[in-house]
Structure 1
Amino acid sequence: MRVFEKVAETLVGLGVRQVFGVVGSGNYDITKALVEHGATYVAARHEGGAASMADAFARVGDSVPAISLHQGCGLTNAITGIAEAAKSGSPMLILTAEVAASAIHSNFRIEQDRLVESVGAVSFRITRETAARDVALAYRIAVTRRIPVLVNLPLDVQGAETTEQFLPSLPGLAALSSLVAPATGAVTRLADLIERSERPVVIAGRGGRNAGPELRELARASGALLATSAVARGLFNDDPFYLDISGGFSTPLAARSIRGADLIISFGSALNMWTMRHGTLIGPEATVVQVDVDPLAPGKHRPISLGVLGDSAVTAAAVTEELQKRGLSRVGYRTEEMAKAIKCEGRWQDVPYEDLGDGERIDPRTLTIALDRLLDKERVVAVDSGNFLGYPSAFLDIPDENGLVFSQAFQCVGLGLASAIGAAYAQPDRLPVLGTGDGGALMASAEMESVVRLGIPLVVIVYNDSAYGAEVHHFGESDHALGLITFPDTDFAAIARGYGFTAATVRTPRDLDPVRQWLAGPRDTPLLIDAKTVSFASWWLEEAFKGH
């Protein structure tokens, strides 16, 4: 057996079933071997797309994905997607060919390990004698640290013969996750704070997504309202005391309620400027507690009263048990009035607004609310970055915590379309939906061919304001240099049809009939909606600008 075959056998044995990539001479053998051992390979049109596909799959899928890249330029093309994955805590393997150590003058030679380490990933290099052990360790690091891991595959090592007998039988992602139990003293202190509080709020972030039932029980026992960061949206969907998103996307009701809390307990949330609106969602008398498995997380972004090192589910269960021992059971923040308010105004769809549509351009709120009513409820939504971001993220309902791919940790435009492809493979029984701006759609347009070729029934919503809208509203519409960030209108419907999409241009709600027709079937092509939207600063962007 040659080394690349041993690497493929080991990875598939560990549970790597989904691979995205762009094949070149250096990674042809390893990609082919992965497929022969049972992995599914998806060919992207750009390595950056492959990285974003894998990132999305890691967020809402059930296994650790891999990307397969050519040496040198294949990795540099992918680095922005890798940076997003690293900043978001997405476990994935980056299988990258590497020039032989002796090929010191190769055009492809770069310091691949230093490149990925500079954006927060980890690097390994296989050797002929220990290749299987090397990739097993890389897999374990990816899972336990929830981070992208580069596996350098030197060309001279890949093709060498190996007699290595190591064949790991490591369990999957859930079993390898670190279930850190909190210290008894920390549980007692947190229970004390809850007992003294009258209006507690529990906020779950990415690290709390595994703890839905336990956090619900804690909230019931303590009388707390529930909220999530954007990346954990949907975790408490059917709870009558779920405020939806905490932060820039908060509804007015959610913002008032969180700001009125006297105790905020974060489970796996960074409590950064986005989740806490630069700290304005923390009332002057509020006590803040942060629970996380990372000992460096508590207090990283803002002062806290108590940091608890522990897994979200384990910690929540332990605190609930302590409260039950004390006989604590109360209404707290969970009043009938609050339940009624959440039912009436807890969703953005229920918040009144002035429709700014003028017949030529549609209000993005009107558009998104209408699409929310039309599209399948079983959906997975991916979003790109820009002024439009809040509309698909907060106005489109999702079925659960695996219904939104929120690739915003690096705040990069252009990752959305590839993310939607990865989400479609991670959640194949759901309708994939992408919300993107015109800038992001043009940056990622090569992957439109991938959508058609792969037969994905994707709905692409292009919020087309013919500008980099976030910059327009950041620098002001009176700026004399606004031409730097505004553009002539692009006919995305025509572009999409060229790739093989069904497409519709939407200027008013009446223009949505083609969407209804497509939804009625057979959905044998993807659908693109070129929505000519009114340009105005979105509410979340105005909140973000307050921090500058």
Structure 2
Amino acid sequence: MIVAEAVGRTLVRLGADRAFGVVGSGNFHVTGAMVAAGARYVAARHESGAAVMADAYARVSGRLGVVTVHQGCGLTNALTGITEAAKSRTPLVVLAADTPAADLRSNFRIDQDALARAVGARPERVHGPDTAVADTVRACRLAVSGRRTVVLNLPTDVQSREVALPLPEPEAPRLHSPAPAQEAVAELAGLLARARRPVFIAGRGALRGPCSQGRPAAEALRELGAATGALLATSAVARGLFHGDPWSLDVAGGFSSPLAAELISGADLVVGWGCALNKWTTRHGSLIAADASLVQVDVEAEAIGAHRPVDLGVVGDAAATASAVTALFTGGGPSPAEDPPQDGRHGYRSPEVRARIERELAWRTVAYTDDSAGGSIDPRTLSVRLDELLPRERVLAVDSGNFMGYPAMFLSVPDERGFCFTQAFQSIGLGLATAIGAALARPDRLPVAALGDGGALMGVSELETVVRLGLPMAVVVYNDRAYGAEVHHFAGGGTDLSTVTFPDTDIAALARGLGFTAVTVRGEDDLASVAAWVNGPRSTPLLVDAKITSEQGSWWLKEAFHGH
């Protein structure tokens, strides 16, 4: 057996059940070894798409992600997807072939270690036949235990060397949740006991990752919320974590509905659970009242207070910390909401607040003037109707752009595994590949990709991948014939916008040529074709080229620009 085969087999033994990639001569053998060991290989049409698919697969499945690329140009092509994964702290191993150390004049030669570090990934290397298994295990442990994206460089000359058999049995990485200090738990319990209007915001750190141990954070936070009267919210990336809870405010931040923003900004205590509390989640700080106490719970000390000062930082796992605080309350510790009012309210939970959440929380209940006209459909109307037409059991992936708030908030999701939001790098063009990875992680659900026309055309090659894989996917293109974010950012005062506007493109025709059922939507009546596809056999994927109105920027974008 050669080193490449040993590395591939070891990855599968450590739990990698899929590999995404574009195969060239440098990664041919290691990819084949993974397939021979039982992993499924998914061929993308571009390395960036492959990296994004692996990222999304890891997020939605809760398993280790693997992407495999050729040396040099294969790695540079994948770099945007790797950057997104690294910034999102996705447990991902990038199997990157590398040039031999002595081949100084190779066309493919670049400093792959430096490239990985530059985008926030961790470079590792397979050094030789004697360490091949140990090097692979180390990379997987770093990815899983540290929630890191690891670039595992595999020089082609090392790959071909023979290893001694039998291979050592690798030990699967295990992740134990760090417990918080007791004094920190007591201080947080005291703050919650005194709070009259507490709000919890759960982020990426509250989602379960590969090899997670113990109870889910959502369960622990619901229990603590019930004990303290806290309302529940999430950052955008964790949307769906509290789906179905009557006290859930959905997303905190730029996507918040008016009622959610009102209630969050009215809190006297906000606790972030595995949440960065960055400018997007706090609306540039405006969602946190000036006199509110702010607490941040995170497994990494360096994350606490990184975006804004906090009154209390707790280093600990979200689930473990919430459970420890709940134990204080239920074990005769501090009583929440001291001197409670006589109006039936428990913390922030009153009959009036619950009734308002039921009536007013969802964006679809917020009144608006339908701007559909002249052969274009209002993106709000489009999104509301799609939410009615598409099955509830769905996994939604949303690309970046001016349009993104409409599908992200008007389309419901069944839980946190039903929403995949690759926005840490804020690159457009990743949405379709995200949907492919998410679809393979949840084959029991309808995959929905929501894209802008700019992002759709950037990732258009992966439409062929959707057809080839036989995915019953609905791809919705919010087509405003422009880079809408730039149009609405710079519009006014006679500014020339010709650099960010384009002629209308028949994206439906492109998709049809690749094997999609495709429809063009200019008004509500055109959505009958979507209903027909949903009710039919769905033997081909669907693309909806929706010509949307573009006279004004989206609400979230106005808020984002206001903060600059």
Which TM bucket (shorter chain)? Answer: over 0.9
**Aligned residue number for residue 511 of structure 1:** 526
1:184 corresponds to which of 165, 182, 185: 182
CA distance 1:540–1:473, change in 2 (3 Å):
same
Structure 1 residues 479-530: Cα deviation after superposition (integer angstroms, max 9, x where no partner) = 4321110000011111110111001110111100111111112111110000
> What secondary structure, in the 3-state scheme, does the structure 2 residue paired with 1:42 have?
strand
Give the deviation of 1:145 after TM superposition: 1.1
Q: Is the 8 A contact 1:130 1:164 kept in 2?
A: no
Distance 1:74 1:373 in 2: 41
Structure 1 residues 422-473: Cα deviation after superposition (integer angstroms, max 9, x where no partner) = 0111111110001100000000001111111111111010000000000000
Structure 1 residues 55-109: Cα deviation after superposition (integer angstroms, max 9, x where no partner) = 1111111311211100000000000000000001111110011111111100000
Structure 1 residues 263-297: Cα deviation after superposition (integer angstroms, max 9, x where no partner) = 00110000000000000000111000000001101
Please say if 1:335 is aligned against 2:350: yes
Please say if 1:270 is aligned against 2:285: no
**Aligned residue number for residue 152 of structure 2:** 151
Using the aligned pairs only, state the percent identity: 57
Structure 1 residues 344-388: Cα deviation after superposition (integer angstroms, max 9, x where no partner) = 011111111111111410000000010001101000000110000
Give the deviation of 1:169 after TM superposition: 4.2
Q: Is the 8 A contact 2:237 2:421 kept in 1?
A: yes
Distance 1:480 1:310 in 2: 50
**Aligned residue number for residue 397 of structure 1:** 412
Distance 1:513 1:339 in 2: 36
Distance 1:480 1:455 in 2: 45
Within 5 Å, which residues of 2 pair with 1:276-355? 276-324=282-330, 325-326=332-333, 328=335, 331-355=346-370
Q: Is the 8 A contact 1:133 1:166 kept in 2?
A: no
Structure 1 residues 398-421: Cα deviation after superposition (integer angstroms, max 9, x where no partner) = 000111111111010101111110
Distance 1:133 1:169 in 2: 8
Please say if 1:383 is aligned against 2:398: yes
**Aligned residue number for residue 483 of structure 2:** 468
Amino acid across the alignment from 1:138: A
> What secondary structure, in the 3-state scheme, does the structure 1 residue paired with 2:232 have?
strand
Distance 1:227 1:478 in 2: 39
Amino acid across the alignment from 2:423: Q
Q: Is the 8 A contact 2:402 2:485 kept in 1?
A: yes
Q: Is the 8 A contact 1:178 1:311 kept in 2?
A: no
Within 5 Å, which residues of 2 pair with 1:226-237? 226-237=232-243
**Aligned residue number for residue 65 of structure 1:** 65
Structure 1 residues 120-140: Cα deviation after superposition (integer angstroms, max 9, x where no partner) = 000111022100000000000
Amino acid across the alignment from 1:269: C
Distance 1:451 1:509 in 2: 26
Greater shift, 256-265 or 93-102, is seen at: 93-102
Please say if 1:49 is aligned against 2:49: yes
> What secondary structure, in the 3-state scheme, does the structure 2 residue paired with 1:95 have?
strand
Amino acid across the alignment from 1:192: G
Q: Is the 8 A contact 1:384 1:417 kept in 2?
A: yes
**Aligned residue number for residue 161 of structure 1:** 162
Distance 1:326 1:143 in 2: 36
Distance 1:67 1:451 in 2: 18
Q: Is the 8 A contact 1:448 1:496 kept in 2?
A: yes
Give the deviation of 1:155 after TM superposition: 0.7
Amino acid across the alignment from 2:531: R
Distance 2:358 2:166 in 1: 60
**Aligned residue number for residue 486 of structure 1:** 501
Distance 1:246 1:177 in 2: 29
Amino acid across the alignment from 1:118: A
Give the deviation of 1:165 after TM superposition: 4.8
Please say if 1:99 is aligned against 2:106: no
**Aligned residue number for residue 202 of structure 1:** 200
**Aligned residue number for residue 127 of structure 1:** 127
Distance 1:168 1:311 in 2: 30
Which runs of 5 or more residues in structure 2 are unaligned?
Answer: 209-216, 338-345
Give the deviation of 1:200 after TM superposition: 0.3
Distance 2:264 2:169 in 1: 47
Give the deviation of 1:5 after TM superposition: 1.1
**Aligned residue number for residue 547 of structure 1:** 563
> What secondary structure, in the 3-state scheme, does the structure 1 residue paired with 2:284 have?
helix
TM-score by length of 1: 0.98
Distance 1:102 1:283 in 2: 60
Distance 1:147 1:413 in 2: 23
Distance 1:478 1:384 in 2: 29
**Aligned residue number for residue 459 of structure 1:** 474
> What secondary structure, in the 3-state scheme, does the structure 1 residue paired with 2:271 have?
strand
Greater shift, 158-167 or 408-417, is seen at: 158-167
Distance 1:23 1:395 in 2: 38
Distance 1:357 1:307 in 2: 48
Amino acid across the alignment from 1:97: A
Distance 1:492 1:478 in 2: 32
Amino acid across the alignment from 2:556: W
CA distance 1:385–1:479, change in 2 (3 Å):
farther
> What secondary structure, in the 3-state scheme, does the structure 1 residue paired with 2:465 have?
helix
**Aligned residue number for residue 115 of structure 2:** 115
**Aligned residue number for residue 79 of structure 1:** 79
Distance 1:127 1:338 in 2: 60
Structure 1 residues 131-152: Cα deviation after superposition (integer angstroms, max 9, x where no partner) = 0000000000000111110111
**Aligned residue number for residue 343 of structure 2:** none
Distance 1:274 1:183 in 2: 29
> What secondary structure, in the 3-state scheme, does the structure 1 residue paired with 2:33 have?
helix
CA distance 1:230–1:404, change in 2 (3 Å):
same
Give the deviation of 1:178 after TM superposition: 3.9
Distance 1:277 1:529 in 2: 32
Q: Is the 8 A contact 2:16 2:63 kept in 1?
A: yes
Distance 1:74 1:169 in 2: 28
**Aligned residue number for residue 140 of structure 2:** 139
Give the deviation of 1:164 after TM superposition: 5.9
Please say if 1:426 is aligned against 2:441: yes
Q: Is the 8 A contact 2:194 2:336 kept in 1?
A: no
Amino acid across the alignment from 1:155: T
> What secondary structure, in the 3-state scheme, does the structure 2 residue paired with 1:120 have?
coil
CA distance 1:532–1:538, change in 2 (3 Å):
same
Within 5 Å, which residues of 2 pair with 1:495-534? 495-534=510-549
Amino acid across the alignment from 2:191: L
Please say if 1:24 is aligned against 2:30: no
Amino acid across the alignment from 2:153: N
Give the deviation of 1:167 after TM superposition: 3.0
Give the deviation of 1:478 after TM superposition: 4.5
Q: Is the 8 A contact 2:379 2:548 kept in 1?
A: yes
**Aligned residue number for residue 15 of structure 1:** 15
> What secondary structure, in the 3-state scheme, does the structure 1 residue paired with 2:404 have?
helix
Q: Is the 8 A contact 2:6 2:167 kept in 1?
A: no
